Amino acid sequence: MSVNWRKFSYIAAGAFLLFALSTILFLYLTIQEIPFNRLELYQVNERGELALGEAGELQSSSIVNKDLLANFLLFSRDSHGAEARIGDWINEKILTRKGPISLEVQTDLKLPLLLKNHCEDLYCYQHKMSFREIPSILWKGLIGIEDSRFLDHRGVDWRSIMRALVSDLKEMRFVQGGSTITQQLVKNLFLSNEKTVIRKIREMIIALYIEEVYSKENILESYFNEVVWGALEGIRIKGVFAASAFYFSKKPSELDEFEATILISLLKGPAFFHPIRHAERLKARAHLVYEILKEQGHYSSEFQVQWSDSEWDDWMKSLKQKTESQAKRNMWRSLVTGPQKMDQFDHYIITHSIERVLTESKEKTTGDLAAKLLIVDLAGGSSEEVFRYYTKYERLTAPAIENERHMVGSIFKPYFYQYLLALGADTERPIQTGEIQLKLKSGRWSPRELAKNLPETVSMAEALKRSLNRPLIHLAQEIGWDELGEKLGARIPRFLKPLSEYPSQLLGAMELTMPEILDLYRDFISVECSRPDWSEGPMGWLLDPTQTTLQRVIRPELKGIEFFSKTGTSNDGLDNLFLFYDGRWLGVIWFGVDGSREGLSGTNFFGSTTAFAIYQSFIMQRGKRFTEFECP
């Protein structure tokens, strides 16, 4: 049988044409679907690289936490691009040491602005840098270890591909990849980690295209900005800036040769070489990588900078301490919950204070703890919101703050005393502290008293300072339930009447939202400040924290300052509140079990040891002077 060669040639030509068209289509679709805009040169500008908001300042004669300030400076840069370093500040005597972790501010000092977090993922930090900002010891080290022919090839190193192919055929499995830095960038940015031939072909195609369009500097810049360096403190570390900050508490420009070597070594597998979980693996690899780079001439041969065993131990110990302190995780939370009216440093310090108290308290209960904070500014007669915060970042903050109601406990006792005074209560008249029983439709009710060994009578001021229950009920009964109930019912949302049947409301058995609490206390402060001698009313009685329920928990440094405040504890410590007013800011902090309370009989928490602890930590560490309390 003769072969029809003409027909065969047509079929072969058609098949070849179909293959060529399919290949062109495959190449086109592969290139078309890639978002190459992620590779564009990162353009640094004055505001684009900085987080929104005002940085804030440190005020002379104030105290600031050295470690928290150092962490703030680590993630900041002023508008002219100069790096802020804590060591420089101390050496220039702008700050002097006050204690192991405290600094005293010598002169008013404006802080630099925080850098923007470019990572949009949850619990992730990334700050992109331009190639000129990346130290040469890093990109030279990367080239030396990962792709020694990076400057010679055009995206794919065919020698490495063949060498890897031979190894794979010998083992009959993927043991070497032969990937260039460009291919690694493509895999990290655009593709998955699956080991298939199709994925490898697509990776090579995209790498070849990138090398034709972008410069080597642009490729290295993108690589160092986009590669993931593992995780610490529950935060995913993306890019070299984050890696340097999280692992060494330094900016990349401050890294020495061996620290740069450790970062390069981690790239082989951040989880496999994790410095806390697999320290010995990382140690062995880092020393090997250092010797290779030294032989290649990337590092100086004059000095031995490899770490000793004690230096490794110190570093790993510091990483564990940082993981426990969560300072950088709280910086992340501060960045993602802004911008707000509060300045950046105050924002970071109060965020850290909230999260620190929350972390410490979680060890004391199986309940799902959370905290909320809402602050408004009453300066100039306004009520502008300054700050709101909810520790459950995964939930919507607005409904949690604005709609959810909490048992208020004792924080409204000053408010009730104000109404009692308006109805004619005599501040000089002694009030009984003894047991009182009321016959209600629901049964007999007798308020409990936590305080022991009380005198038979106390003044109104003393009863409020000690947050006593029975004197308030005695006084309300004397003034008259109906009139007091009508006054309070006209003002307080969901207030139950007649008050004579629901007297426990005066002791905090009512639920309000945080905005409702502040709205009521805004009016309270307005009334108190309108008194000829406002220091002699319910607000004035609570100005000195050493004379109130805070006397056992107030720090020595805060004794002598004045601010109006009231704690509240209810539901056996499942709800804890702290209300404060410093002459300008009015705020409320809630701390408690957020979610199911089934099986929780109590937590041994109090408003004075949880919600107030947040406020105390904040005002102690924010680097602001304590000013004399004045009504607006």
Report pLDDT digits (tens) over 94-145: 777 766 788 888 889 899 899 999 998 989 999 999 888 899 999 989 988 8
418 domain-assigned: no
Whether residue 80 is predicted with pLDDT greater than 60 in this model: the reply is no
Positive or negative, the CA dihedral 600, 573, 68, 102 is negative
Neighbours of 356 (CB within 10 A): 18
517 domain-assigned: yes
- Domain containing 211 — which CATH number? 1.10.3810.10
| Helix, strand, coil content of the chain in percent (nearest 5) | 45, 15, 40
- Predicted confidence at residue 383, as pLDDT, reads 85
User: CA 145, CA 380: separation in Å to the nearest integer?
Assistant: 62
- Asked if 396 and 531 sit in the same domain, the reply is yes
Whether residue 252 is predicted with pLDDT greater than 50 in this model: the reply is yes
- Predicted confidence at residue 46, as pLDDT, reads 44
What band does 172 get if pLDDT is binned at 50, 70 and 90? very low
Region 477-506 average pLDDT: 95
User: CA 196, CA 204: separation in Å to the nearest integer?
Assistant: 13
Tokens 């499942």 sit at which residue?
574
Tokens of 205: 């195609």
79 domain-assigned: yes
User: Cβ(266)–Cβ(282) under 8 Å?
Assistant: yes
- Predicted confidence at residue 303, as pLDDT, reads 56
Report the residue count for the chain. 632
Instruction: Give the CA count within 13 Å in the CB-facing half-sphere of 476.
Output: 30
**pLDDT of 26-42, one tens digit each?**
555 556 566 666 666 44
What are the Cα distances from residue 70, in Å, to 16, 88, 373? 65, 11, 25
- Asked if 200 and 286 sit in the same domain, the reply is yes
- Quick one: DSSP state of residue 77? B
- Asked if 387 and 530 sit in the same domain, the reply is yes
Report the 3 state secondary structure along 138-194.
HHHHHHHHHCCCCCCCCCCCHHHHHHHHHHHHHHCCCCCCCCCHHHHHHHHHHCCCC
Which one, of 243, 318, 276, 324, lies nearest residue 74 by Cα? 243
Which tops the pLDDT comparison, 91 or 220? 220
User: CA 415, CA 613: separation in Å to the nearest integer?
Assistant: 23
593 domain-assigned: yes
238 domain-assigned: yes
334 domain-assigned: no
Whether residue 400 is predicted with pLDDT greater than 70 in this model: the reply is yes
Region 410-416 average pLDDT: 96
Q: Give the list of residues 6+ apart from residue 548 with CB closer than 8 angstroms, or none.
A: 465, 466, 467, 542, 565, 566
- Asked if 83 and 145 sit in the same domain, the reply is no
- Asked if 595 and 543 sit in the same domain, the reply is yes
Average pLDDT, whole number, for the chain? 86
Which tops the pLDDT comparison, 94 or 391? 391
Q: Cα dihedral angle (104, 106, 109, 113), rounded to 10 degrees?
A: -30
118 domain-assigned: no
- Asked if 240 and 385 sit in the same domain, the reply is no
> Which of 83-92, 131-140, 414-423, 496-505 bottoms out in mean pLDDT, i.e. has the lowest?
83-92
42 domain-assigned: no
User: Cβ(250)–Cβ(243) under 8 Å?
Assistant: no
Tokens of 97: 């040491």
- Asked if 135 and 164 sit in the same domain, the reply is yes
Tokens of 83: 């790096």
- Domain containing 610 — which CATH number? 3.40.710.10
> Where are any strands of DSSP class E within 451-584?
457-458, 511-512, 564-570, 575-581
Instruction: Give the CA count within 13 Å in the CB-facing half-sphere of 314.
Output: 6
SS3 607: coil
**pLDDT of 255-292, one tens digit each?**
999 999 999 999 989 999 999 999 999 999 999 999 99
- Asked if 91 and 234 sit in the same domain, the reply is no
- Asked if 239 and 286 sit in the same domain, the reply is yes
**pLDDT of 309-352, one tens digit each?**
999 999 999 999 988 888 999 999 999 887 788 999 999 999 99
Q: What percent of the chain has pLDDT over 70?
A: 85
- Asked if 134 and 270 sit in the same domain, the reply is yes
> Where are any strands of DSSP class E within 258-383?
369-377
Tokens of 108: 């008013």
How many domains does the chain fold into? 4
In which domain, by residue range, is 20 found? 7-36
**pLDDT of 179-204, one tens digit each?**
888 888 888 777 666 777 777 777 78
Instruction: Give the CA count within 13 Å in the CB-facing half-sphere of 606.
Output: 10
User: CA 59, CA 10: separation in Å to the nearest integer?
Assistant: 87
- Asked if 288 and 373 sit in the same domain, the reply is no
- Asked if 261 and 389 sit in the same domain, the reply is no
